[in-house]
A and B are shown apart, each in its own frame.
Chain A
Amino acid sequence: MSKPHVPVVEGYFTEEGGAKLLGGRCAQCGAFFFPKQYSFCRNPACGAPDLADVELSTRGTLWSFTDNRYAPPPPYPATEPFEPYGVAAVELDVEKMVVLGQVARGVDVSGLHAGQAMELVVEPLYESDEAVHTVWKWRPVA
């Protein structure tokens, strides 16, 4: 029997109906927030008390990228042996905000370039006895 897929953190993203980041949007000023973090708007000219739950756009433009060649310290669930992986900062086209994420498995970081189109995916981060713990990642648009 295959293990259930469980998001590594609750409420940040979903893979139901396709990978999507979950954020907040202010009904008054229109600002987006990711992570949602608080229940209120942080625009100092607004400060509305409520944010609506919204799905963020799944595409953006690569701002910059790097990789982790050495295992990060806990609480990163590094696997043995450690496999280096990429990290990408992507500006969401609609929300005009930069969101950091790991680069999807199998993508060669040395082939990336700023300005290219990226899309969101959800992939395993690590496996426990009970579940496959998932996280959002970025990969180049094919």
Chain B
Amino acid sequence: MSGSEVVILGAGMHPWGKWGRNFVEYGVVAARTALADAGLEWTDVGFLAAGNTMRNGYPGYVSGSTFAQALGWRGVRVSSSFAACASGAVAIDQARAQIQAGRCDVALVVGADTAPKGFFGPLPGVRPEDPDWLRFHILGATNPTYFGLYARRRMEAYGATAKDFSAVKVKNSRHGLTNPNARYRKEFGYDEIEASPVVADPLRLVDICATSDGAASLVLASAEFAATRADRDRHVRIAAISTVTPQYPNTYLDMPDIGTDSAVGVALPGRTFRDSIAAAAYEEAGVGPSDLSLAEVYDLSTALELDWYENIGLCGEGEAEALLHSGATTLGGTVPVNPSGGLACFGEAIPAQAIAQVCELTWQLRGEAGERQVDGARVGLSINQGLFGHGSCVITTK
């Protein structure tokens, strides 16, 4: 099932923040930055794959053509993907598939968002048949409510403490301190974290990622095209993209569900959904957790970063706190996690986030990550999960 090799030639972002401007402006800045990074022009692009945003009107639902128009109509074919937080990975996968099918040499991937303040709510209207509407209406179950449940589960099942979660924030706030694209470049100490108000027990406001404006973009190309370029030593290979959905029965309470599948009368899948996201990528790439130089994981909350350590196989179940405190996942450790600063420093710009993770992998593997550089990075993994059952994992190699 393996296809031909696809290479990352360019990566670019619009910095994360909160300005409330049109998301298209951010996306075009990111796209032009990625194209310049690749030494290419928009006129070199044969396919544009974009990630949709749900909160910016119709242009957000047709993001591919929105960005094609903004960059200047030239007949390029497009795709517009929505997979919630995993939208960016699906867009990267669309671009890769077009290249692998021989339909273009160079593809551009763009994701951008303008986020509202405060809790994300469902789309307007009255829709009892929509689980996302229902969870807000009858339970008031916001995203932080689910993050709180997952965090409390770690405490109940493994003896994790609020201080363990704070340690993730302390680490990531240090990692992102000099990242020019990060929204929050401020070091957090334990006292300040403990003074932050609890939002969803046991999580405090600073344990939970903010919602941000931002944009990220990648330029992908076939290996044949890449071989004609002068800057081949900067090229990074896409070794795997996993966009798997869950296996029935999914008995883990994922957003936005109010009830899981039932385990009656059927065997449980061999892996949990989150475990399966990484496993599919490892299988495609032919590498394992011990090969990783670094990982960018979706720290929607501090506690969730610890779940990911286990899901991507850095340690066994219930061992993430010990791994964190060993320093292994801190810059300078054996496998730094979220050297970019993660969502703790960026906040979440939904369709851009999975693309931003791969931008970080690209800069790290090139050795261009500056003060947050992971020494000798050769293999990077990014992972996230979009609500409604979307997996997202990308493995890049040098």
Which residues of chain A have a CB within 8 Å of any CB of chain B? Answer: 8-10, 12, 23, 29-35, 37, 42-45, 63-78, 85, 87, 89, 94-102, 109-110, 113-115, 125, 135
Contact = CB atoms under 8 A, between A and B. Distances in A.
B211 to A, nearest CB: 12
Contacts, number: 152
Nearest to B200: A66
A96 B262 contact: yes
23 contacts: A8-B137, A23-B259, A30-B264, A31-B264, A33-B261, A34-B258, A35-B258, A72-B141, A72-B142, A73-B118, A75-B133, A87-B139, A97-B262, A98-B251, A98-B252, A99-B260, A100-B253, A100-B259, A101-B139, A102-B139, A110-B201, A114-B152, A114-B156
B111 to A, nearest CB: 24
B157 interface: yes
Given A75-B133, A76-B140, A100-B253, A66 B266 contact: no
A125 B201 contact: no
Given A9-B134, A63-B153, A68-B200, A42 B264 contact: no
B341 interface: no
Interface stretch (B119-127, B184-192, B348-356): B119-127
Interface residues of chain A: helix, strand, loop or mixed (majority): loop
Nearest to B118: A73
Contacts of B156: 64, 113-115
Given A69-B200, A97-B260, 13 more contacts: A10-B128, A31-B262, A65-B152, A66-B152, A66-B203, A68-B142, A73-B142, A75-B122, A76-B139, A96-B251, A100-B135, A100-B259, A101-B258
Given A67-B201, A68-B142, A97 B259 contact: yes
Contacts of A29: 265-266
